[in-house]
Amino acid sequence: MNQRLASPMRSTEILASSKRTPTAATGVLLCLAVGALCLLANHYFNSLSALLLAIVLGILWRNLVSVPQNLDPGIAVSGKSLLRLGIVVMGFQLSLNSILSLGPGVLLVVLLSVSVTFLLTAWIGKLLGLELEQRLLIAFGFSICGAAAVAGAEGTIKAKEHQVATAVGLVVLFGTLMIPAMPAIAMVLGLDEHGAGMLIGASTHEVAQVVAAAGSVGSAALSVAVTVKLARVLLLAPIVAGVGVYMRTKHSVHGEKHPPLVPLFIVGFVATMLLRSTVDLPEAVLHSASVVQTLLLSSAMFALGLGVHLRSIFSKSGKTLLLALAATGTIIAVAASGTLLFPPA
């Protein structure tokens, strides 16, 4: 008799527990819905970046209104899985031919902007006493492609959630300040539209911020800036692989399970890029890929924004802010010097 009663009771308890357990679906659907709204806003207001709008909305929500806890699992999935899918699809926007057409001088400037900024940021962060993971995340974000690079590298360096949120918040803060600053610097340097585009593309952190800054200069500047920026994005794969080797050889624990040297989504990114470069894909396919990429990345940026606690960033010792300032100053200096020495044709 007791066994017969116990079974229904256990079933009822399990059912009640499953109802209390939050699922990822709600949070993922919310992020996708916000991403779609940002995509729609970009369609009607071309100057309004969907990615930038999404991450700002996420930051505002997190810091002004409490976020329901039942959304947390879906937010976590969106900030990782949707972002990684978006990076894979981003490869369709990269053509090796268009990047190589920039010329050796511009490509050298891109290589120096990324490598010098990455290495100097990591070194300055060490001098400041920051944790290895934190300084590497900032180096990734400020030298390559902003929040996407930060999130793309977190698994390789095994970063903590608060370190990722700090790096993302700093990229948003300093990259947004660069939107009006970089066209002004180009004007002071006396650069034409092509030169301004090269400077903006070689220095500004996020792809969305590059579009916003270069778009304010002109269509020629925008075309050059986006191509130069995508050349920087191309370096994400080899640098992630290099850091993966470094972490295994210098900072691994015996018997510890290591993540792959090159994450699977980075392999997918390279594969789609090579497909775009070797196959003449229909324009409709490329346009659809662009829309899907923007939706996925906007949804992921909203999720990342929800993880940024501005109070915690500004309440810390200020070392991360100082490192972000140094990284921004470094990449601007290298990009400006390179643009003056090797102006685009």
Of the CA atoms within 13 Å of residue 204, those in its CB half-sphere come to 33
Question: Taking the model in full, what pTM does it have?
Answer: 0.77
Instruction: Give me the sign of the Cα torsion angle 265, 266, 269, 275.
Output: negative
What is the dihedral sign for C-alpha 109, 112, 115, 119?
negative
pLDDT score of 141: 93
Measure the N-to-C terminal CA separation of the chain; round to a whole number of Å. 88
Report yes or no: 296 and 82 within 8 Å, Cβ to Cβ.
yes
In the prediction, which pLDDT does 114 show?
96
CB 283 within 8 A of CB 92: no
Q: Of 289, 233, 229, nearest to 266 (Cα)? A: 233
Residue 251, pLDDT score: 63
- What span, in angstroms and rounded, lies between the C-alpha atoms of 21 and 39? 31
Q: How far apart are alpha carbons 290 and 234 in whole angstroms?
A: 17
Contact indicator for 267, 284 with CB cutoff of 8 Å: no
The phi-psi region of residue 218 (left if phi > 0; otherwise alpha if psi is between -120 and 50; otherwise beta) is left
Tell me how far apart the 2 most distant CA atoms of the chain are, in Å.
90
Tokens of 215: 């778009």
- The 8-class DSSP code of residue 129 comes to T
Token digits for 189? 């340097």
Q: How many CB atoms lie within 10 A of CB 208?
A: 29
**Tokens standing for residue 289:** 């890929």
Token pair belonging to 320: 């991360």
C-alpha–C-alpha distance, residues 51 and 58, integer Å: 11
Q: Which residues contact 275 (CB under 8 A, 6 or more apart)?
A: 91, 92, 281
Give pLDDT, residue 4.
47
Tell me how far apart the alpha carbons of residues 87 and 262 are, in angstroms, rounded to a whole number.
14
Cβ(92)–Cβ(309) under 8 Å? no
pLDDT of residue 21: 47
Per-residue pLDDT at 22: 58
Residue 15's CB is within 10 A of a number of other CB atoms, namely 9
| CA–CA distance, 81 with 149 (Å, rounded to integer) | 14
Task: Please report the DSSP string for 153-214 in residue order.
Answer: HHHHHT--HHHHHHHHHHHHHHHHHHHHHHHHHHHHTT--HHHHHHHHHHH-SSHHHHHHHH
Tokens representing residue 70 in the block: 């039942």
Q: Within a 10 A sphere around the Cβ of 148, how many other Cβ atoms?
A: 28
Nearest to 166 by CA among 25, 316, 4, 340: 316
Give 10-residue mean pLDDT values along the chain (345 residues). 47 44 82 94 82 87 89 87 86 85 93 96 95 94 88 82 86 87 95 95 87 83 87 88 83 55 77 90 92 90 82 74 96 97 88
